[in-house]
Structure 1
Amino acid sequence: MCGIVGYIGHGSAAPVLLEGLRRLEYRGYDSAGIALVQRRRLKVHKAAGRVEELRRRVGDDAPGSVGIAHTRWATHGEVTDANAHPHTDTSGRFAVVHNGIVENSDQLRAKLIADGVQLVSDTDTEALVHLIAARAEETDTLEAAVRAVLSSVEGTYGLVVLDSKRPDELVVARNGSPIVLGVGEGETFVASDVAALVRHTQQVVYLEDGEIATVRADAFRTSGRAQTVELSEEDYELGDAEDFMRKEMAEQPEAVRRALRGRLDPRFATAHLGGIRLDPRELRNVRRVKFLGCGSAYYAGQVGANLVEELARIPADAEPASEFRYRSPVIDSDTLYVAISQSGETLDTLAAVQELNRKGGRVIGAVNVVGSAVARECGSGVFLHAGPEVSVASTKAFTNMTVSFAMLALLLGRVRDLSAAGGARLVEGLRALPDQIQAVLDTDAEVAEVARRYAKAEHMFFIGRVRGWPVAREGAQKLKEISYLHAEAYQAAELKHGPLALIDRDMPSVVIVPNDELLTKNISTIEQIKARGGPVIAVTNATLPPGLVDAELRIPSNSPELDPILLTIPTQLFAYHLASALGRDIDKPRNLAKSVTVE
């Protein structure tokens, strides 16, 4: 992985490909490359580092009306020019760009070496292009050669193959890693993400898993139909913001309004989620809810599980999707599984959904991308309506996940024993969220001052209990991924069972303190930390004893069940400003990618 762009048509390929790579930079990468057909010969440029360095090497006026390009996030081999994609065969006729992992690449590479092929990279992808080149000598079409080679490949791939002797076609293939086609007038675009296409077309076709297709300037054949994406070039532009994370944090009030629009029913004090396609009888038959996600999506699932148990009084929990299929899970027909993925392409989550479908489980998706793999595999679910999220660190998508799960919990509660009065209280609380989130965002300057005060810390604890526990986990995640400061989340009661040994004046603790029935317990935890000299930053809507904490990050009060949604916002701002004080590249944290399509 991480980004693929292809073009075939009547125009100049180089500017389309380079601009496409620029729009995919947000996904995370360490090198980039491009292959253009010029007079039936390949011209390949590669650069370890940023797309801008590749642009300088290539130039926007490079000739050629067909080409492929790639941004690489290293999985096999170090970050070097040689390991960057595209990879070519020995003759320089064929080029391949590839997202995913070829799990049997060691065997394939060993066979090629035994056959006398000289490999020039350490990647799994290079084996594919040599195998395709050899098989192309024996087949009538490039697609047949690609199909034959992929039949012996184990692993995942989003693949585009270019033959300089056949410059009127590209062959694309998908298995576990996204490929989308963009349909233009006498030109066709290929990408791993629709973000690379919206400048040129809103008509797209998503390849299905296991699909291989030949693409020409004016024709292609796939199992899917073209659909219109309601996105534009402006959706992926910064505007006046310093970076995308700041832009997307500021967009959260409007994103939540979109998620709530048309879904709240004050008359019956409930929520409408038509996309899950479950009638009241089916909802009543749900005996358990399990949320499956990775990273921030997993922590959002924990918030959701707490909400379901509180409001619907049925067992619920969250589990990392990356672990789910490997532990041979028991699939219960009375359990509703919720697969969570911002991109809808997270491989671990997709694999969990496929395992559930294979075993007859009932699974719905919670995704932010229409037509994504998880959405198609689930067939029903909740669309997050967060809008495009470019920053690697999720903010508005996480918030919309938790808001969506609050509506799911309200719906489940109202078909059971949650009273109309209780439902009405939650409906009003949900309606209040956009303005309350804006109120928290308006404390930006105060949060920035606190963040700068602790920017020199080397380690930090995030502490919470019950409702505050997933908030603490997400807060630690944000701080780790964009500031590189070591942060650990702990349940408040667990501090005294080991972690308290690490508390001293150089170990700040961010303590999540909602104004709920556990307030006195949380105050006791803070006193334990202060007794050992540890600085405390409280994220709270409670009135704390004077002088108890070193800093407070305040939120408005809502229904206690919904407070975790608001408590998360200051932790986003805190992580952002601390990372900014340290001079980090906030939108492109090291070693991370936005859409994780490998295991």
Structure 2
Amino acid sequence: MCGIVGYLGPQDAVPILLEGLARLEHRGYDSAGLAVLTDAGAVRVAKRAGRVRDLAAGLPKRFAGHLGIGHTRWATHGPATDANAHPHTDASGRVAVVHNGILDNAATLRARLAERGVPLTSDTDTEVLAHLVAAATADTLEEKVRQALGQVEGTWGLAVLHADHPGEIVVACNGSPLILGVGNGEMYVASDLAALVRHTTRVVMLEDGELATVTADGFTTSTGKGAQEIDVDPDSYEAGDHESFMRKEISEQPSAAESVLRGRLDERFGTTHLGGLNLDARESRAVRRVKILGCGSSYYVGQMGAGLIEELARVPADAEPASEFRYRNPIIELDTLYVAVSQSGETVDTLLAVQEIRRKGGRVIGLVNVVGSAIARACDGGIYLHAGPEVAVASTKALTNMFLGFALLALQLGRVRDLSVADGRRLVAALEQLPGKMKEVLDTEPQIAEIARELSRAESLFFVGRVRGYPVAREGAQKFKEITYRHAEAYPTSELKHGPLALIAPEVPTVAIVPADELTERNIGALHEIAARGGPLVVVTHPEVDLTGLDVRRIDVPRSEVELDPVLLTIPLQLLAYHAAQELGLDIDKPRNLAKSVTVE
């Protein structure tokens, strides 16, 4: 949930570190800091609460060095203060550490250090690492770090520099990713490709439990692995002409949809090609249940996916928050297919759930966006989402491609069972048309923006939908609350009269999902109940739905096949949240208290 950068080479490290931190600020932005090893052999540290721009503006004069590490923080232990910002140093100031993750036994270690008279200057768990490295008796910096890590429990991605070991940075990871970038006579360290792509496309992705010693001339890892070339467009990490990354990523949904569908649709047999699943037809037929695990938006789109799988494959399917899964000692069934969903492929709750399933002999596949990520590596197979880099904290195009990934999976599972070739071809044709229909939805943005400005004045909102529409409503409420900071709650439309209807009032708008399906009339009946109590209504619906007699703000989306309608109904809710947040003057890409990749429990 934080960002790490590092540099060793002939250039001044500070501008490179600041640029890298700015590119990682979506991963943590309540404080930032740098540590450099000067040519005179001293470790100099600058850090402060606030954004990277605040750090850059306050840097001391002649703050320079050819080796350095930097960090953007998302607070876990202690509030966002200058003292709690990374890097952290030992008492002598000769060791500096940046760290992502959580040390579970930090309180015990802090107490031991205090008993020994070691001064602790922050509230963080990370500070103990600097003191443990400084106290280690090994000769090399890598062994000092290894000794220190032998005393801690938890997760880490960390980078360490030491004044007594000039010319090298030692990095280690366990449950929190780190990447090495290989340049020409210079090396880079980062927790995300975004910080590296402007400098190099040769990278090393460290495995859990791995340590590496990095010098300007190269690196050595504990596993002896080498670098690989990655295919990435650096411009994809830029907002370009868009006022925010979220706005850019909303507009990229049609092209992202084309990418995830490309080469995977089989019109002749009405099915899909998903070789990455590592499931043949016999194994697919042996699946008796599907369990989907994700967090936040990934959980809500998992609910949409579960509905798709039940409809098309006629296999029981459900979704569950990955953050709760392993703590209830789940029963792992060998004929259940588990599906882990994560944009980053780093979400620690989901990764730990995957590890628990694998430990108990279950089969798990991943729907992830980042190639080579921890969850992708931990799964038995999967579907890469091919949405391209997603920088905004609020997920849009990756979420859309998650839905399409579930559609591809459901169609393949259905066709090895009882789904007819005619129905398969019907759905393949509809999937091919979805990118164009997404463009039609985006064309209605001016009307949606006007409605969003009205909704921005409400302190609390309801989002409601039934069956296929309910997870759409849940995702809509999630988007609205996370970037507008307004209270937004989702309910099944049928549950309104079982309690929530008491809160309906003129100052509490309801955003209702009302597709043209077998439940349209029942949904319209609920709208009348809301209107009778003075509740303002925004209805996301299809053009043929007749809302005569109701005073509503209407948003029409084009029809697809009924099973695929949820993905088109979701896009207006993204735009409602975006334009409401814009009207409120909020930082849309970096909502308060949140980070893009949740790599701590």
TM-score by length of 1: 0.98
Deviation digits for residues 71-92 of structure 1 (CA, Å, limit 9, x no counterpart): 0111111111111000011111
Residue in structure 2 matched with residue 218 of structure 1 by the alignment: 217
Instruction: Give the Cα–Cα distance (whole angstroms) in 1 for the partners of residues 539 and 590 of structure 2.
Output: 28
Residue in structure 2 matched with residue 290 of structure 1 by the alignment: 291
Residue in structure 2 matched with residue 155 of structure 1 by the alignment: 154
Residue in structure 2 matched with residue 68 of structure 1 by the alignment: 69
Report runs of 4+ in structure 1 exceeding 3 Å deviation. 59-62
CA-CA distance at 1:214 after TM superposition: 1.2
Contact 1:344 1:373 in 2 (8 A): yes
- For the pair 1:201 / 2:203, whether they are aligned, the reply is no
Deviation digits for residues 495-550 of structure 1 (CA, Å, limit 9, x no counterpart): 11111110011111001011101111111111111111111111111422324242
Which range moved further: 23-32 or 477-486?
23-32
Structure 2: any 5+ residue segments left out of the alignment? none
CA-CA distance at 1:139 after TM superposition: 1.0
Letter in 1 for 2:141: L
CA-CA distance at 1:140 after TM superposition: 1.1
Residue in structure 2 matched with residue 560 of structure 1 by the alignment: 562
Contact 2:27 2:74 in 1 (8 A): no
Instruction: Give the Cα–Cα distance (whole angstroms) in 2 for the partners of residues 463 and 71 of structure 1.
Output: 37
Letter in 1 for 2:416: V
Q: How does 1:387-466 map to 2 (within 5 A)?
A: 387-466=388-467
Q: How does 1:489-508 map to 2 (within 5 A)?
A: 489-508=490-509
Residue in structure 2 matched with residue 261 of structure 1 by the alignment: 262
Contact 2:363 2:380 in 1 (8 A): no
Instruction: Give the Cα–Cα distance (whole angstroms) in 2 for the partners of residues 450 and 293 of structure 1.
Output: 31
Letter in 1 for 2:4: I
Contact 1:28 1:392 in 2 (8 A): no
Contact 1:98 1:158 in 2 (8 A): yes
Instruction: Give the Cα–Cα distance (whole angstroms) in 2 for the partners of residues 29 and 352 of structure 1.
Output: 27
- For the pair 1:577 / 2:579, whether they are aligned, the reply is yes
Residue in structure 2 matched with residue 587 of structure 1 by the alignment: 589
Residue in structure 1 matched with residue 12 of structure 2 by the alignment: 12
CA-CA distance at 1:28 after TM superposition: 3.2
Contact 1:199 1:232 in 2 (8 A): no
The DSSP-based 3-state class of the residue aligned with 2:505 is: coil
- For the pair 1:520 / 2:521, whether they are aligned, the reply is yes
CA-CA distance at 1:59 after TM superposition: 7.1
Residue in structure 2 matched with residue 167 of structure 1 by the alignment: 166
Residue in structure 1 matched with residue 179 of structure 2 by the alignment: 180
After superposition, the CA RMSD in angstroms is 1.1
Contact 2:345 2:376 in 1 (8 A): yes
The DSSP-based 3-state class of the residue aligned with 1:162 is: strand
Contact 1:289 1:335 in 2 (8 A): yes
Residue in structure 1 matched with residue 3 of structure 2 by the alignment: 3
CA-CA distance at 1:221 after TM superposition: 2.0
CA-CA distance at 1:57 after TM superposition: 2.5
CA-CA distance at 1:581 after TM superposition: 0.8
Contact 2:32 2:73 in 1 (8 A): yes
TM-score by length of 2: 0.98
Aligned length in residues: 597
Letter in 1 for 2:569: L
Contact 1:538 1:549 in 2 (8 A): no
Residue in structure 2 matched with residue 27 of structure 1 by the alignment: 27
Instruction: Give the Cα–Cα distance (whole angstroms) in 2 for the partners of residues 322 and 8 of structure 1.
Output: 38
CA-CA distance at 1:375 after TM superposition: 0.5
Letter in 1 for 2:574: Q
Residue in structure 1 matched with residue 126 of structure 2 by the alignment: 125
Contact 1:14 1:61 in 2 (8 A): no
The DSSP-based 3-state class of the residue aligned with 1:246 is: helix
Letter in 2 for 1:152: Q
Letter in 1 for 2:203: V
Deviation digits for residues 531-582 of structure 1 (CA, Å, limit 9, x no counterpart): 1111111111142232424211110001000000100000000111111111
Instruction: Give the Cα–Cα distance (whole angstroms) in 1 for the partners of residues 51 and 416 of structure 2.
Output: 53
Residue in structure 2 matched with residue 544 of structure 1 by the alignment: 546
Letter in 1 for 2:260: A
Contact 1:14 1:60 in 2 (8 A): no
Which range moved further: 536-545 or 400-409?
536-545
CA-CA distance at 1:60 after TM superposition: 9.7
Instruction: Give the Cα–Cα distance (whole angstroms) in 2 for the partners of residues 515 and 338 of structure 1.
Output: 30
Q: How does 1:208-357 map to 2 (within 5 A)?
A: 208-222=207-221, 223=223, 224-357=225-358
CA-CA distance at 1:491 after TM superposition: 0.6
Instruction: Give the Cα–Cα distance (whole angstroms) in 2 for the partners of residues 546 and 572 of structure 1.
Output: 26
The DSSP-based 3-state class of the residue aligned with 1:586 is: coil
Deviation digits for residues 327-378 of structure 1 (CA, Å, limit 9, x no counterpart): 0000001111110110000000000000011001000111110110001111
